[in-house]
A and B are shown apart, each in its own frame.
Chain A
Amino acid sequence: KNQVEQSPQSLIILEGKNCTLQCNYTVSPFSNLRWYKQDTGRGPVSLTIMTFSENTKSNGRYTATLDADTKQSSLHITASQLSDSASYICVVSARKSNYQLIWGAGTKLIIKP
């Protein structure tokens, strides 16, 4: 069964600190993996998209990594800011279906001053 598991469920860190969020998936055949940021009560906004051949991609202070062999991805946030408080969602696309996106439940990140 295609699944995306994220950990931790929630995380609280102090402003200025770094953190890493994890995503494990069992989606096959793999097409791409995305990380979205979702502010409370808003729609998700794309941070990165990675295909099979990419093992790292950055977007400002956000860096995503992908290990297609172990089916794991991580999202590293550097020098966190209060505005980073949000849910971060890992989404994996299966290649054989045009529209099948498998969504993780997200990690809720809270940045404290």
Chain B
Amino acid sequence: DGGITQSPKYLFRKEGQNVTLSCEQNLNHDAMYWYRQDPGQGLRLIYYSQIVNDFQKGDIAEGYSVSREKKESFPLTVTSAQKNPTAFYLCASSISSGDGQSYEQYFGPGTRLTVT
């Protein structure tokens, strides 16, 4: 099956702890993205990566970190510096937008993180 997977589906953490969300794709896409979704709001871009070993901050990168050591994987760490981490996190991938085009993004099923 080709697709993009995220794990776990639900994650609970205590305030002050870092937590890492997994995202894996076997679509052979160069570009990967992390979004945050809050009730009543549009998706907001946290980080994106066009190619292995390269990534860029999105609109709300503060309190988050990422790595892109493999083409298939783009894990997101929610650090204790993120002031309001409870949210639904979505990972996506696409053909690389290196030529300036905006290609269709394919989304994973999401991880719902609750921090108390």
- The residues of A with any CB-CB pair to B shorter than 8 Å are 4, 31-32, 34, 41-46, 49, 89, 93, 95, 98-106
Across the interface, which residues of B come within 8 angstroms of A101, CB to CB?
43, 45, 102, 105
Across the interface, which residues of A come within 8 angstroms of B98, CB to CB?
98
Report B53 CB to chain A, min CB distance, Å. Answer: 18
Interface residue? B40 (CB, 8 A)? yes
Across the interface, which residues of A come within 8 angstroms of B104, CB to CB?
34, 46, 49
**How far is B105's CA from A49's CA once the two chains are assembled, in angstroms?**
11
Task: Contact check, B42 vs A104: say whether CB atoms are below 8 A apart.
Answer: yes
Task: Contact check, A31 vs B110: say whether CB atoms are below 8 A apart.
Answer: no
Report A74 CB to chain B, min CB distance, Å. Answer: 18
23 A-B residue pairings within 8 Å (CB atoms): A4-B42, A32-B102, A41-B88, A43-B4, A43-B92, A43-B107, A43-B108, A44-B43, A44-B90, A44-B107, A46-B104, A46-B106, A89-B42, A89-B43, A98-B102, A99-B33, A99-B48, A99-B56, A101-B45, A103-B43, A103-B44, A105-B40, A105-B41
| B contact residues, total (Cβ < 8 Å) | 28
- The residues of B with any CB-CB pair to A shorter than 8 Å are 4, 33, 40-45, 48, 50, 56, 58, 88, 90, 92, 97-98, 100-102, 104-110, 112
Question: Chain B residue with minimal CB distance to A93?
Answer: B102
Question: Chain A residue with minimal CB distance to B59?
Answer: A100
